[in-house]
Amino acid sequence: MEKSPPEPGPAAAAEEVAARFRSLVDPDHVTSIRQMQHLILGRLQDSNAVLTHFNEYSEQCFAEVSSDFASKARLLKSMKADLEHIFTKLRGMKRRLAATYPDAFPDGAMSKTMDQRPDLESPLD
């Protein structure tokens, strides 16, 4: 029986494919691409370091002001409730004054002055 020529092993086939791919690409271009990738990697690492530092600084600042901010928000809510109570009382007093002394307020004047408080829910312009 005749033996057929031995087939190359997988390692030899892989070397052949790699050699053919290397012949398709200019080595100078590959070197240029690797240098550019290295430069981009350095810039990305620098950017990452800057952003990490900024995040740590922001977290520290937020920790310092968050309790103060929360207390000021509670104070503003309390002040709003107090002002609403005061305006409710004032409207009641104005109605009683208008009912007790109708001649003191000309027709239509009371409706104009009855509620001139600003709307606290609307945004400022």
Tell me the whole-structure pTM to 2 decimals: 0.47
pLDDT at 99 over 90: no
Structural domain contains residue 12: no
Domain membership flag for residue 64: yes
- Domain count for the chain, please give it: 1
| Sign of the CA dihedral with 33 first, then 39, 40, and 42 last | positive
pLDDT for 63 equals 93
Query: What residues contact 104, with CB distance under 8 A and at least 6 apart?
Result: 97, 98
* Residue 21 lies inside a defined structural domain of this protein: no
| In-domain check, residue 120 | no
- Within a domain: residue 123? no
**Section 105-118 average pLDDT:** 62
In the predicted model, what is the mean pLDDT of residues 15-29? 86
Q: What is the 3-state secondary structure (H, E, C) of 22-37?
A: HHHCCHHHHHHHHHHH
pLDDT confidence of residue 57: 97
Q: What range defines the domain where residue 51 resides?
A: 28-113
* Residues whose CB falls within 8 Å of the CB of residue 110, separated by 6 or more in sequence, listed in order: 94, 98
Q: How confident is the model at residue 98 (pLDDT cuts 50, 70, 90)?
A: confident
- Across the range 18-33, mean pLDDT stands at 87
